[in-house]
């Protein structure tokens, strides 16, 4: 029996998948990743400050001094703090590079999840937990990159800075990136910043099929639609009804399509996609680039939800309220409209478009605070895109990095507002469904994270000289 057991153990060891084997440096990185993921950083419930302190402890163990680590927090929001770490470069005349990451995550309720959302679980080749994809994987990569560079020496030519902040996932809370931009601009000053928003995409069978660098994003703005009536007893319905009037306005918002517009980034992106695609999509893309008003081409391309959003401003109803009693006519009804505004549109022009589409003076349309800075697209700078492509050839031969515009929004808007161009880095491959970010059972493919970590370490070294 002992011999049989030994044979079975040997066979099991031989049959174990290669992906289960990790290098010692990957094991250390995994421990950091686990520590960040298992620190609840939901704003108002967890603590970004605690996560920042853990990041600082990791860097200090790698040799960073107290003077190179700056913790910050607003007195009114002590749990929403962050960290700026600085790895000094050899050339004082060379401008710094800034690595940006947010520590906060979207709420996750245990009763809704298959697994504990705040416990890192590795299963079937994936890491599961809230923040595994958005964005504690990249946070861990940035922290680990600085630690490895400090330990390996010598100092890079350029100074490398890291800003870990809180408040990116909310519109109402203290925002660390905004605070740094307004209060400590010299601390984070850099020639350019590297952020979330880029990455890559795997096919449904797990094969790399696309690499992208985010070069621009949309502006996020909420609007409130509100209708009011005198109300009255529900036994005496009248034509003027706040809920019905709001519903009619929402139906018009749903039906309205903002016009197609191209930036330099999206034109370059779709031009490349058009050359790679065949069939109806491949034929439609050059037609739409040549004529953004081509309705037939627009219909083909916009069948893809991501492409649809990249081509235009989008607005969607996200919250609803109305009425005050079961037996009373509604005196008030309201809805929140969340808009992701194209760089060639503005907050004001989007508001005007909503008012025109609704075409009902009874519906009041107002901007919902806060109003964030407009997203400023960074240049398609070969000094940024070139090294990313060169290093990518080592990890994903044959894949060309596409400049893309994020259909969402990031904290990069606060840095671009003070003159720091922000790029969303490629490297960490996502699943076709975006890894369940912001949703249930968020996950990150183990191999994607480890390979992305190696790529980004090499990329930062390339930028830093």
Q: CA-to-CA distance for 363 and 355, rounded, in angstroms?
A: 8
Q: CA-to-CA distance for 4 and 7, rounded, in angstroms?
A: 5
Specify the number of domains making up the chain.
2
Domain boundary among 368, 383, 407: 368
Domain boundary among 339, 368, 397: 368
Q: Model confidence at 432, in pLDDT bands (50, 70, 90)? A: confident
Per DSSP, the three-state class of 338 is strand
Query: Residue 21's pLDDT is what?
Result: 75
| Residue 334, pLDDT above cutoff 80 | yes
Q: Specify if 396 maps to a domain.
A: yes
| Residue 176, pLDDT above cutoff 70 | yes
Q: CA-to-CA distance for 348 and 339, rounded, in angstroms?
A: 12
Query: Residue 4's pLDDT is what?
Result: 33
225 and 213 in a single domain? The answer is: no
| Residue 13, pLDDT above cutoff 60 | no
Residue 398 CA, distance from chain mean position: 26
Q: Specify if 260 maps to a domain.
A: yes
Report the candidate in 302, 270, 352 with the shortest Cα–Cα distance to residue 294.
Answer: 302
Tell me the average pLDDT of the chain. Answer: 94
284 and 202 in a single domain? The answer is: no
Q: Model confidence at 171, in pLDDT bands (50, 70, 90)? A: confident
Q: Residue 19: CA atoms inside 13 Å, Cβ hemisphere, count?
A: 13
Q: CA-to-CA distance for 70 and 247, rounded, in angstroms?
A: 50
Q: Specify if 443 maps to a domain.
A: yes
136 and 150 in a single domain? The answer is: yes
Residue carrying structure tokens 């209708």? 227
51 contacts 140 by C-beta, under 8 angstroms? no
392 and 321 in a single domain? The answer is: no
358 and 394 in a single domain? The answer is: no
Query: Residue 220's pLDDT is what?
Result: 94
42 and 171 in a single domain? The answer is: yes
Beta strand residue intervals within 253-344, DSSP E = 314-322, 328-329, 332-341
Count CB-CB contacts under 10 A for residue 396: 20
181 and 329 in a single domain? The answer is: no
In tens, the pLDDT along 397-418 reads 999 999 999 998 899 999 999 9
Q: Which CATH number fits the domain that encloses residue 194?
A: 3.40.630.10
Q: Specify if 65 maps to a domain.
A: yes
Percent of the chain past pLDDT 70, that is, above it, reads 96
361 and 388 in a single domain? The answer is: no
In tens, the pLDDT along 268-308 reads 999 999 998 889 999 999 999 999 999 999 999 999 999 99
Is the model's pTM score more than 0.75? Answer: yes
87 contacts 157 by C-beta, under 8 angstroms? no
Domain boundary among 368, 401, 427: 368
In tens, the pLDDT along 337-394 reads 999 999 999 999 999 999 999 999 999 999 999 999 999 899 999 999 999 999 999 9
Q: Which CATH number fits the domain that encloses residue 298?
A: 3.30.70.360
97 and 41 in a single domain? The answer is: yes
Q: Specify if 1 maps to a domain.
A: no
334 contacts 225 by C-beta, under 8 angstroms? yes
Average pLDDT over residues 329-343: 97
Q: Specify if 285 maps to a domain.
A: yes
110 and 29 in a single domain? The answer is: yes
Q: Give me the sheet containing 314-322, strands edge to edge.
A: 314-322, 332-341, 219-228, 364-368
131 and 209 in a single domain? The answer is: yes
235 and 156 in a single domain? The answer is: no
* CA-CA-CA-CA dihedral for 164, 168, 169, 171, to nearest 10: 150
51 contacts 131 by C-beta, under 8 angstroms? no
What radius of gyration, in Å, describes the C-alpha atoms of the chain? 25
Q: Specify if 199 maps to a domain.
A: yes
Average pLDDT over residues 419-428: 97
Q: Specify if 2 maps to a domain.
A: no
Query: Which range of residues forms the domain containing residue 402?
Result: 24-217+375-464
């Amino acid at each position: 029996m002992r011999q049989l057991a030994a044979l079975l153990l040997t066979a099991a060891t031989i049959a174990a998948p290669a992906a289960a084997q990790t290098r010692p440096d990957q094991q250390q990185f995994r421990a950091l990743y686990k520590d960040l993921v298992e620190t609840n950083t939901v704003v108002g419930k967890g603590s970004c400050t605690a996560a920042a302190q853990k990041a600082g402890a990791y860097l200090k163990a790698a040799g960073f001094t107290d003077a190179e680590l700056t913790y910050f927090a607003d007195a009114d929001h002590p749990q929403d703090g962050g960290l700026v770490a600085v790895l000094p470069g050899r050339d004082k005349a060379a401008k710094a590079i800034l690595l940006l990451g947010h520590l906060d995550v979207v709420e996750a309720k245990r009763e809704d999840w298959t697994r504990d959302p705040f416990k890192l679980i590795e299963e079937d080749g994936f890491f599961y937990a809230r923040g595994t994809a958005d964005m504690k994987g990249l946070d861990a990569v940035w922290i680990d990159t600085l630690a490895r560079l400090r330990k390996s020496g010598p100092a890079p030519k350029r100074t490398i800075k890291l800003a870990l902040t809180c408040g990116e996932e909310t519109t109402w809370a203290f925002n660390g990136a905004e605070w740094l931009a307004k209060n400590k601009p010299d601390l984070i000053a850099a020639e350019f910043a590297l952020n979330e928003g880029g990455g890559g995409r795997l096919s449904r069978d797990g094969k790399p099929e696309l690499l992208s660098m985010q070069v621009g994003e949309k502006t996020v703005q909420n609007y409130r639609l509100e209708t009011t009536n005198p109300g009255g007893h529900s036994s005496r319905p009248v034509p003027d009804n706040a809920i019905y009037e709001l519903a009619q306005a929402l139906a018009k918002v749903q039906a309205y399509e903002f016009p197609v517009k191209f930036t330099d980034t999206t034109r370059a992106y779709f031009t490349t996609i058009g050359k790679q695609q065949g069939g109806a999509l491949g034929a439609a893309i050059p037609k739409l680039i040549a004529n953004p008003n081509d309705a037939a081409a627009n219909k083909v391309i916009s069948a893809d939800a991501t492409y649809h959003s990249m081509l235009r401003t989008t607005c969607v109803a996200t919250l609803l309220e109305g009425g005050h009693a079961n037996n009373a006519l509604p005196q008030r009804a309201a809805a929140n409209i969340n808009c992701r505004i194209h760089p060639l549109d503005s907050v004001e022009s989007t508001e005007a478009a909503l008012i025109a589409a609704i075409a009902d003076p009874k519906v009041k349309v107002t901007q919902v605070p806060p109003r964030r800075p407009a997203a400023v697209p960074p240049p398609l700078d070969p000094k940024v895109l070139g090294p990313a492509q060169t290093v990518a050839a080592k990890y994903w031969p044959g894949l060309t990095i596409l400049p893309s515009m994020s259909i969402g929004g990031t904290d990069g808007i606060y840095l671009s507002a003070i003159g720091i161009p922000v790029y969303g880095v490629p490297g960490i491959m996502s699943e076709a469904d975006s890894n369940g970010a912001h949703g249930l059972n968020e996950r990150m493919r183990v191999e994607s994270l480890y390979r992305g970590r190696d790529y980004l370490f090499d990329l930062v070294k390339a930028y830093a000289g």
